[in-house]
Amino acid sequence: MDLQWLRVVVVGHVDHGKSTLIGRLLHDSGALPEGRIEEITRAGAGDADPEWALLLDHFHEEREEERTIDSTQAFFATPRRVYRIIDTPGHREFLKNMVTGAAQADAAILVVDVEAGVLEQTRRHVAMLDLLGQRRAIVAINKMDRVQGRRGDFETVADAARTLLSQTRINVHHVIPISAQHGWNLASRAAALSWYEGPTLFDALDSLAPPEPLSNRPLRFPIQDRYELNGRGVLVGRVESGRLAQGQTVLCLPSGESAPIASVERFLERRTSAEAGESIGLTFDGMLELQRGAVLCDPQSPPKMARRIEANVFWLAAGGWAQGDSLVLRCTTQETPCGIERLQRRINSSTLEVIETDAQRLEPTEVGHVALTLERPIAVEESAAGGPLARFVLLKNQTISAGGTVTRV
């Protein structure tokens, strides 16, 4: 009875209808419990149509102000699989919440209002998806009911969205005219859009392939902790990529030692191997000094050890960064104090304009191209190669304040 999952994030400018779309998807897929439609019709403005967004916007403040503040998740199923749909706020001030939601997704739906077109947060969200490594998007041109389903209006905005996405590494799978409020082209087609011959949103979602398994990549096993079990040290962690097996020789970074895996441990199971995604324990006959932050990897294709990296950093937390701030970098279970040695370019994440070169500060929502100096060397990879060691977060005052991807080691 195994199910297939897909995590899909919905992004776009404020008021373009993200929460409304998800609410309506839940309804059209039959996922809503009894009484919910009445609840959101009553709690809404009092008119006859349900306020679909109220299915997602649960905070009092969100309902009063009619805007999503924090990201949320809801579930629905088609005959093909179960979707975890991640709603995100469209306001610039809630970008950290948008990123928190979007970072978990396997694919994205970009919602664009057909009347308003591509706007500031449409561009910013696309830039964030690109930085987060998202490579798949479906574009939904929303509120087609407001333009009586006119094809010309759709084509104009669809072209603008395609042009925007063509400047990124994101592949556009479909561009679909919809009305979230009326359910046009979600589960079923609409007479007003009879000229449209592509898939409905449900069909487009179902046509997306499952995410690529990480088990075919080189082994990366960052050590999370060390437990004592029956007098033996067990190194626990999650296989971030690749596979491992008892007897296989692994390289340990930063020490550079190599040793064969003595055993693979899972509670109540007999195991001799594990693959990407599994939380396991390992024992070794030697290498007793290992602890959190060490990374076990494939000796044939190891990551690089670096004390200086170049990266794209997107700042999320209030206050931003200023020259002299002390930071901590975390990459998987590796952690080291670090500093921004040079902020080469400070970039507006919506327009992608360079605001300043050799800057002394970086404001929230901005992207910086930086050179980072690390107090201790860590194992990293360039983001072009992908993988778990190519991305990191920066903490300021013990708070996750920025995300980053390694551009050069």
Partner 1 sequence: MTDLDELENKSIYLIREAYSRFRRIAVLWSIGKDSTTLVWLCRKAFFGRPPFPIVHIDTGRKFKEIYAFRDRDAAEWNLDLRIARSPRAIEQAPSFSDKLECCTELKTNALRRMIAELKFDALLLAIRRDEHGIRAKERFFSPRDSEFRWNYLDQPAELWDQYGSTAEADTHLRIHPLLDWREMDVWRYVQREKIPLVSLYFARNGRRYRSIGCECCCAPVESNAATIDEIIEELRTTRIAERSGRAQDKEQTYMMQKLRSLGYM
Task: Judge contact between 391 and 133, C-beta under 8 A.
Answer: yes
**List of E strands, 254-366:** 258-266, 269-271, 273-275, 279-284, 295-297, 304-315, 321-322, 327-331, 334-347, 354-359, 361-362
Q: Does 4 bind partner 1 (CB under 8 A)?
A: yes
Torsion sign across C-alpha atoms 148, 149, 151, 157: positive
Residues 257-296 as x/- pattern, contact with partner 1 by CB under 8 A: --------xxxx------x-xxx-x----------x----
CA–chain centroid gap for 330, Å, is 17
Pick the binder of partner 1 from 9, 10, 14, 56 (CB under 8 A).
56
Q: Shortest distance, CB of residue 341 to partner 1, whole angstroms?
A: 22
In the complex with partner 1, the residue whose CB is nearer, 172 or 234, is: 234
- Which of 16, 18, 27, 96 is in the footprint of partner 1 by CB under 8 A? 96
Any contact of residue 2 with partner 1 (CB under 8 A)? yes
What b/e string do you get for 35-49 counting C-beta neighbours within 10 Å, with b at 16 or more? ebeebbbeebeeeee
Nearer to partner 1 among residue 41 and residue 344 (C-beta) = 41
Compute the radius of gyration of the chain from its Cα atoms: 24
Least distance in angstroms from the C-beta of 281 to partner 1: 7
Report the C-alpha gap between 298 and 243 in whole angstroms.
9
Axis crossing angle, helix 95-102 with helix 120-132, rounded to the nearest 10? 40
254 preceded by cis ω (within 30°)? yes
CB of 35 to partner 1, least distance (A): 8
The span from the CA of 230 to the CA of 234, in Å, is: 10
Binding-site member from 19, 20, 97, 241 for partner 1 (CB under 8 A): 97
Q: Report if residue 307 touches partner 1, rule: CB under 8 A.
A: no
Instruction: Work out whether strand 258-266 and strand 269-271 pair parallel, antiparallel, or are unpaired.
Output: antiparallel
Among 14-22, 201-209, 336-344, 391-399, the segment contacting partner 1 (CB under 8 A)? 391-399
Chain residues binding partner 1 by CB under 8 A are 1-5, 32-36, 43, 55-56, 58-61, 69-75, 82, 84, 96-97, 99-100, 103-104, 132, 224-225, 227, 229, 234, 236-238, 265-268, 275, 277-279, 281, 292, 316-317, 330, 332-333, 388, 391-393, 397-401, 403
